[in-house]
Every structure is written in structure tokens, then in C-alpha cells.
Amino acid sequence: MDIFIFQSEQDDLCYGFTTDEAGANQPLELAPWRSPNGAALPRDTDPTAISGSDAILATIKANGYCVVQADDPKIVRPTFRHR
């Protein structure tokens, strides 16, 4: 699974992880989203080696994306509208 990383322009500490390369499914409440230098986890990366990855991957599988705060490892529960 390819995972792409986006950063909220409303909150620089808010990051979104998604399988959507364009990030079109990221929450509108935190838009616009930018992809820092086309950030993505390299295909050969084992996502389970990333801290909190089990919860992040489960949330991506359930909702298509996962939003986290860089200053707080807890996942922000996906309660946002999809585009």
C-alpha cells in the first residue's frame, strides 16, 4: 500500500496520511492540504516500523485517511466530512 503524507496549511502540526496520491479525501476543516515535496513513504518502507503505525494503518483502512498532530501522538479521530 502506498501512503502519501500531507500537511494542513491551517495547522502546521497537523499531518494527514492517505492512500490517495492527490490527498483529495483529506478533511475539509483542515484544508488546504499540501504535500511537502511530494512526501510519501517509500514502497520498501515497513509501515509497522513507524511509531503508532498500527492505529494509523487501521484508521486509513477504515476511513481512507488518518490525521495526526505532530505534538501529540494520539490520533485525531476522523470526524470530518469527505470531499
- Cβ atoms of 45 and 37 closer than 8 Å: no
Please give the Cα distance from 83 to 53 (Å, whole number).
25
| Domain ranges, residue 55 | 4-76
pLDDT at 11 exceeding the cut of 60: yes
pLDDT classification of 78: cutoffs 50, 70, 90: very low
Q: How many CB atoms lie within 10 A of CB 28?
A: 11
Cell numbers linked to 58: 487501521
Cell numbers linked to 33: 492540504
Q: Is residue 83 part of a domain?
A: no
pLDDT classification of 10: cutoffs 50, 70, 90: very high
Please give the Cα distance from 27 to 15 (Å, whole number).
11
Q: Is residue 54 part of a domain?
A: yes
Q: What is the pLDDT of residue 65?
A: 93
State how many domains the chain has. 1
Q: Is residue 82 part of a domain?
A: no
Q: What is the pLDDT of residue 83?
A: 40
Q: Is residue 51 part of a domain?
A: yes
- The per-residue pLDDT for range 16-64, each reduced to its tens digit, is 999 898 999 999 999 999 887 666 555 555 555 555 677 888 889 899 9
pTM recorded for the entire structure: 0.70
